[in-house]
């Protein structure tokens, strides 16, 4: 079956702009999590959704937001982009939200210039 699909793969934005990233989980998976990966900080948890409800949120400013749709697809939005937002954004899905197994997409590489 198809894995986790993230679009787009690469994105270049200018400071101050906003961006929306998309994630389609594995079919049947109801939980989606988002992570930011940078060389200095590693993988940092952004937020997690289960059945359209945000269950957990990491320590990121309010400029980072997300949502999950009834078909489990998820989007994350970053407003007023800063240079420091340049990173690989990873989405992971899990079958029932217990996160004993997480399946990651290939990520979206965001570059802010």
**Binding-site ranges for another protein (CB under 8 A):** 4, 6, 31, 33, 35, 42-43, 45, 48, 50, 55-56, 58, 88, 90, 92, 97-107, 109
- CB nearer to another protein: pick between 11 and 88: 88
Cα separation, 89 vs 27, whole angstroms: 21
Shortest gap between Cβ of 40 and another protein (angstroms)? Answer: 10
Shortest gap between Cβ of 89 and another protein (angstroms)? Answer: 10
For tokens 């997409």, the residue is 105
Burial of 74 (0-12, 13-18, 19+ CB in 10 A): buried
Shortest gap between Cβ of 11 and another protein (angstroms)? Answer: 14
Cα separation, 92 vs 103, whole angstroms: 5
Shortest gap between Cβ of 48 and another protein (angstroms)? Answer: 5
- CB nearer to another protein: pick between 92 and 112: 92
Cα separation, 42 vs 73, whole angstroms: 25
């Amino acid at each position: 079956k198809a894995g986790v699909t993230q679009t787009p793969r690469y994105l270049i934005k200018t400071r101050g702009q906003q961006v929306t990233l998309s994630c389609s989980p594995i079919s049947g998976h109801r939980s989606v999590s988002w992570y930011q990966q940078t060389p200095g900080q590693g993988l940092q948890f952004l937020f997690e959704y289960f059945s359209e409800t945000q269950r957990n949120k990491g320590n990121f400013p309010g400029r980072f937001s997300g949502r999950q749709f009834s078909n489990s697809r998820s989007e994350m939005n970053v407003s007023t982009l800063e240079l420091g937002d340049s990173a690989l954004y990873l989405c992971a899905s899990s079958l029932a939200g217990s996160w004993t197994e997480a399946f990651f997409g290939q990520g979206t590489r965001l570059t802010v210039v």
